[in-house]
Amino acid sequence: MFLWFHKLGSPPHFYRIAGKWIPWLSWIFLVLLLAGLYGGLIEAPPDYQQGESYRIIFVHVPAAWMSLFIYVVMAFCGAVIIIWRMKLAEVVLISSASIGASFTFLALATGSLWGKPMWGTYWVWDARLTSELILLFLYLGIIGLHNAIDDKRVASRAVAILALVGVVNIPIIHYSVEWWHSLHQGATVTKFDKPSIHWSMLIPLLLMALAFQVYYVLALFQKCRVELLQRERNSKWVEEL
């Protein structure tokens, strides 16, 4: 196990493995996306209260989940960087940041588009919305800090610390709807014992979530390959490409 982990952490090995996986991941993503879109836009019935507007959740909810998940991955990488100084963790952390920022932006923008017809406003300074906005600023802060420091190894340690400190925001986002009076609805799907969403809507939602998860790995692999080429441009393995 340790040997496998050590081998995967080697930049040339990861570069090759990621390159082989990208076409497979692209197809898996496409199939899941089409199945999710078919289920969400065609098969699922309109909501009895929200009508057709609820269909925004098929992109909003997976994007919001990914915004949290990616930050947790980054915080984990941050811990690995500080403890083991693993180069690949540095690459994964910074490559994840822009994908995470994109998903956070998407969650905020689609939530806003859903909020206008349902709440009567695009934005409220609600606990859930505000903590999600703070998450976007954290992502942007990490990208900015990494770009501001020339030495990439020093930059990686700095963003690792920021990622670890910022992870405190993740439970705040998740529990904000329970801890404060919020306009945002409470947990619907994550009540695993009895989700308060019908199966006809839950299945496409889960398919879209899975598609976004696969997409994250796909986009991450592509970004990591670029980052590895830039960092290792003077290495022998890059010269041999």
Partner 1 sequence: MGGYAIFVWPSYALAALVLWLNWYLPRKQHEKELRQLRRRHKAE
Contact residues for partner 1 (CB under 8 A)? 46, 51-53, 55-56, 59-60, 63, 98-99, 102-103, 105-106, 109-110, 113-114, 116-117, 215, 218-219, 222-223, 225-226, 229-230, 233, 238-239, 241
Query: 47 or 175: whose CB is closer to partner 1?
Result: 47
Shortest reach from residue 9's CB to partner 1, in Å: 21
Query: 151 or 239: whose CB is closer to partner 1?
Result: 239
Q: What letter does residue 182 receive in the DSSP assignment?
A: -
Query: 106 or 159: whose CB is closer to partner 1?
Result: 106
Q: Measuring CA to CA, which residue among 141, 54, 144, 66 is closest to residue 107?
A: 66
Shortest reach from residue 67's CB to partner 1, in Å: 12
Look up residue 227 and give its amino acid: E
Query: 77 or 219: whose CB is closer to partner 1?
Result: 219
Query: 138 or 228: whose CB is closer to partner 1?
Result: 228
Shortest reach from residue 53's CB to partner 1, in Å: 4
Query: 82 or 98: whose CB is closer to partner 1?
Result: 98
Supply 81's token pair.
Answer: 């960087």
Shortest reach from residue 171's CB to partner 1, in Å: 26
Shortest reach from residue 146's CB to partner 1, in Å: 16
Q: Which residues contact 162 (CB under 8 A, 6 or more apart)?
A: 78, 138, 141, 142, 145
Look up residue 150 and give its amino acid: D
Q: Is the four-CA dihedral 194, 187, 61, 44 of positive or negative sign?
A: positive
C-beta separation of 70 from 100 below 8 A: yes
Query: 53 or 182: whose CB is closer to partner 1?
Result: 53
Q: Cα(216)–Cα(26) distance, rounded to whole angstroms?
A: 11
148-157: burial string, b at 16+ Cβ within 10 Å, e else:
eeeebeebbb
Shortest reach from residue 11's CB to partner 1, in Å: 14
Shortest reach from residue 223's CB to partner 1, in Å: 5
Element spanning 36, H or E:
helix 11-37
Q: Cα(136)–Cα(86) distance, rounded to whole angstroms?
A: 26
